[in-house]
Each structure stands twice: as structure tokens, then as C-alpha cells.
Amino acid sequence: MPNTSDHEMREPTDFGDGRYRAALVNVTNVCNLECRHCFVFRAGNPNLARDKMDDATMLHQLRVLRDKHGIKSMLFMGGEPMIRKNLVMEAIKLFENPSIVTNGTYGIPSAPGCLVTVSLDGPERMNDPIRGDGVFRKVREAIFTRKTGDGTIVILQMTVTKENAPGLEEFVEEVKDWPVDGVAFTFYVPCKGEHGPLAWDDLRERDVVLDRVIALKRKYPKLIKSNIPALEMMKSDRAMNYTGEHGEHCGMRAMLPLYMGKGGNFERTFCCYGNDVDCTRCGAYGVFNGAYHRMKKGEEPAYSGS
């Protein structure tokens, strides 16, 4: 436990008086991988490796922000959060509903009650050109050597792009017997004006990929952690109802994104995916799944933007 008593504690950035039930925090801007699709390291985001906050200050600031904004759910992210494993293991205790998303190359943390999402972007032959040579093997080893039955919920997550989409079914066949609690899919979030190998220029091309995920869900209903109605809501004729052109309908904008900015102070970005995003082609599954659950509960579907 870090000693906080001999620190001159900096107070967090003022993010106003809004209530945020959910937030994410980039505990470090450092990463051991250089994934081709990564939004964190895009130009225009707070993401410099030299900007850092020590453990005691971060624990203090997270506590203050939790109490000020009523934060219940906190997603620990980075960079690679497990580079600061000791800090993360302390910080998850501050929140009712903590979760971690990790590249899995530092092992899988034992965090009872916590959701640990481990990123892999397709079968080995597709994952490694994106995440780096030997990464798939390393993550597989970490998954197989972790202590199971400790109450940590471990999910694999594939970020589907135009490029790795052909490997969806092969990926599921490759991991379906791994000791994990499920496999999740999210889709690529491009920058504005991006026309490269990763982004679908026309969302109608993505619809057929969504149908393949729906077919996988029907084949492996327990393993695949996607809801069919949420996947249907991602289809090209409806998606904009839940995103808007500039995030005006997006429920995820009700989440507070704490990026690590200048001088090691928290900065908020436009949304969890940073500052330069094309909402009209957003593939964040959480946006649509959140809207689906709100609709089921009879709540307002759209974010008011306030």
C-alpha cells in the first residue's frame, strides 16, 4: 500500500459537477505493443509516455473523482494497464464495479469479482500481424496457466476490422475450448475521413460481418457474449439512431474518459475512443448494447448531450 502521508497531493482536474456512473482511466500511456488499429496513440489524444501520475496521487484523485461524480463502474485501461499492476490491484478496490482491459502479455491478473477482458484480434495468423509476433502464443500461455476458480471473470475480446473480419469463425474455433468465461466482439472505430484497410467505407459492407457474428452466437450461445438485438442495432440502416453524426445519440458519452494528459494530469477526451472519431461509422459494441438495455428497461434511447 503506497504511503500517502508524505505526499503533497495534487487535486484532480475539474470536470464540472456532472454525475458519471461509469468512467475509464488510462493508468499509463506506456505500452509494450504497437497494434495497428489502436485509437489511444492517435494524433490529437493525450497519450505521451512522459506524462505520468504516481500511485499515491492516482489513488487519491480516483477516490476524489469517484465521490464527486458518483462513479460506480471504472474501466482500467492504458496503454497497457498491467505495466502498473500493483496500482491497478489497489485501485480496483475503490469501485463497486471495476473492470480491466489488458493485452494479456503480462499474465492474467487474479481479481475476484472483476471482469478482465483480454484482447486478441483473430486467429494467430491474423492476430500477430496486428498485435506483434509471438503475442498470440504468449496470451494463450497466460490464459492456460492462470489460476482458475478464483472468481475473476475472464473474457477474450476481438476487435473486428475490415482486415481481420475473414478470421471470425476461425478465431472462435481456435479459442472455444480455452478456460475463459466467454468471447466478445467489438468493431473498429475509425478516425474522421479514414479510408484505409481497417475501416469499412460503407456500413452496408459491415452488415454481412454482423450476420456472421449473429450466426456464431446462434451456434455457441453460451460462449459468445454478444446480444443478437444489439448486433442488429449496429446494422447500417439503424446504427446512426444510436450514435448520431457527432455522438449526439451515443450513450457512451455519459461515461467519463480519464486520459493521462500534460504534466501527468487527467484530461477528458471527446469520448472513450479519444478525440478524433467518426461516429457515423462507430463500431463500439458497448454503444449499441447499452442502448439495447436502456430500451429494454423502457428508458430514453438517446443521450441528451448535456
Interface residue list for ligand SAM (CB under 6 A): 31, 37-40, 77-78, 80, 101-103, 119, 157, 159, 186, 188-189
Q: How far apart are CA 206 and CA 280, in angstroms?
A: 13
The 206-245 contact track toward ligand SF4, x by CB under 6 A, reads: -------------------------------------x--
Torsion of CA 242, 243, 247, 252, to 10 degrees: 70
The span of 10-18, 75-83, 145-153, 177-185 binding ligand SF4 (CB under 6 A) equals 75-83
The span of 53-61, 92-100, 175-183, 280-288 binding ligand SF4 (CB under 6 A) equals 280-288
Residue 22 sits at φ, ψ, to 5 deg, of -130, 145
The least distance separating ligand SF4 from the CB of residue 88, rounded to whole angstroms, comes to 14
Helix (H) or strand (E) holding 160: strand 153-160
Q: Are strands 22-26 and 153-160 parallel, antiparallel or unpaired?
A: unpaired
Among 2, 10, 21, 33, binds ligand SF4 (CB under 6 A): 33
Asked if 277 interacts with ligand SF4 (CB under 6 A), we say yes
Is 108 in contact with 181 (CB distance < 8 Å)? no
The least distance separating ligand SAM from the CB of residue 17, rounded to whole angstroms, comes to 29
Residue 224 sits at φ, ψ, to 5 deg, of -85, 120
Instruction: Please give the residue whose beta carbon sits closest to ligand SAM in the complex.
Output: 119
Asked if 203 interacts with ligand SF4 (CB under 6 A), we say no
Residues 6+ apart with CB under 8 A from 247: 253, 270, 271, 277, 279, 303
The least distance separating ligand SAM from the CB of residue 21, rounded to whole angstroms, comes to 20
Pick from 71, 79, 122: which is nearest to 255 by CA? 71
Asked if 269 interacts with ligand SF4 (CB under 6 A), we say no
Between 203-219 and 168-175, two packed helices, what is the crossing angle to 10 degrees? 30
Q: Which does 282 bind (CB under 5 to 8 A by kind): ligand SAM, ligand SF4, none?
A: ligand SF4
What single string gives the DSSP state of each residue in 24-65?
A: EEE--S--S---TT-STTSTTSS--TT----HHHHHHHHHHH
Is 102 in contact with 117 (CB distance < 8 Å)? yes
Cα distances (Å, whole numbers) of residue 227 to 161, 178, 217, 260, 268: 19, 21, 8, 32, 30
Judged on CB neighbours under 10 Å (0-12, 13-18, 19+), 110 is middle
Asked if 291 interacts with ligand SF4 (CB under 6 A), we say no
Asked if 255 interacts with ligand SF4 (CB under 6 A), we say no
The span of 28-36, 63-71, 143-151, 259-267 binding ligand SF4 (CB under 6 A) equals 28-36
**Binders in 55-74 for ligand SF4, by CB under 6 A:** none
Q: Which is nearer to ligand SF4, 80 or 174 (CB)?
A: 80
Among 12, 46, 167, 247, binds ligand SF4 (CB under 6 A): 247
The span of 162-170, 192-200, 210-218, 250-258 binding ligand SF4 (CB under 6 A) equals 250-258
Asked if 24 interacts with ligand SF4 (CB under 6 A), we say no
Q: Which spans of this chain sit near ligand SF4 (rule: CB under 6 A)? A: 31, 33-35, 38, 40, 78-80, 103, 189, 243, 247, 250, 252-253, 271, 273, 277, 279, 282, 284, 287
